[in-house]
Each structure stands twice: as structure tokens, then as C-alpha cells.
Structure 1
Amino acid sequence: MSNAIPMRELKVGEKAKVVAITAIGELGRRIRDMGLVPGAELEVVGRAPLQDPVALRLTGFTLSLRNNEADYIAVERV
């Protein structure tokens, strides 16, 4: 995980692969239920004017995530 960064650091247009979810309990389960699991590839497709939330495209769908949730997701750029 040496190249892992928090998902919040990705810019619009960047692609990454999820390497770890550090959230526990209900939040961790919710994040995984949204398809954000280790190995999942995503692309940042947009951000709100104040940079929160962030819109992500995964295989077949787009989802919106708050930055405080994105902080629990470690990714590697691809």
C-alpha cells in the first residue's frame, strides 16, 4: 500500500483502484455495499462547487460520496 492515498485527493478525470476501506461498523458496510471494495476501479467524474460531494463512476453506475466518507477509502492511481 505504499502508493495508496485517500480518495479525497483524486482530481476530476483521475482513475484509481480501491486498495483498502478503513471504516468500521455501519459506515464500512455502507461503503462496501455501494461497490467500493478492494480491487474496484473508479473514476472521479465531478465535484460540487465546494468540492463536496464527489461523483464517482464505477462499472455500470455513478455514485456520489461525501468527502468525510472518501477519507476512509485508500486508492492507488491507475
Structure 2
Amino acid sequence: MARTVDDLQPGESGVVKNHKVKGSLGKHLREMGLIAGTPIKLERKAPLGYPVEVRIQGFSLALRKEEAESIELE
């Protein structure tokens, strides 16, 4: 199984390989730069694990569990 953003621990980084987010949210994530080859860093997780905060293209982004699980890393 591929490694995903959900597998990262705070402070760890990866490179986006692909994401499986569909519909308008998927389009919005691509427009914000969440595309293959983009570095992504997990900044922190909420006390119960979700949402997670990632750093991508110079800004912070909060992701729900389903979104974090759908972003595959190289």
C-alpha cells in the first residue's frame, strides 16, 4: 500500500505523488498547488488526530482524515 499524508508524523515531509480527492475539492486542491512533485510537510495533528495541518507551497492547509488518506507520497 502506498504511503500517504496520514502516515506522516509531525515534522516529517514527503513529496506528493498523486491524490484521489474528487469533485470540486480535488480541483481546488490542485489549484492550490497540490500536484505531483510538490513537497508537503505535516506541521501538526489535532489532539484526536484530525484535522491535520500541512505546509505546502508556503502556506498552511488543514485536511480532514479522508483527504489526508487520499494524498499519496513518493
TM-score range, shorter chain: 0.7 to 0.9
- Structure 2 unmatched runs, 5+: none
Residues 26-45 of structure 1: pairs in structure 2 closer than 5 A = 26-45=24-43
TM-score after normalising by structure 1: 0.81
Q: CA deviation at 1:34?
A: 2.9
How many residues in Structure 1 have an aligned counterpart in Structure 2? 74
Is 2:15–2:39's contact at 8 Å kept on the other side of the alignment? yes
- Structure 1 unmatched runs, 5+: none
Residues 14-29 of structure 1: pairs in structure 2 closer than 5 A = 14-29=12-27
TM-score after normalising by structure 2: 0.85
CA RMSD of superposed structures (Å): 1.6
Q: Partners of 1:47 and 1:35 in 2: how far apart?
A: 21
| Paired letter, 1:36 | L
Q: CA deviation at 1:28?
A: 1.7
- Other structure's SS at 1:20 match: strand
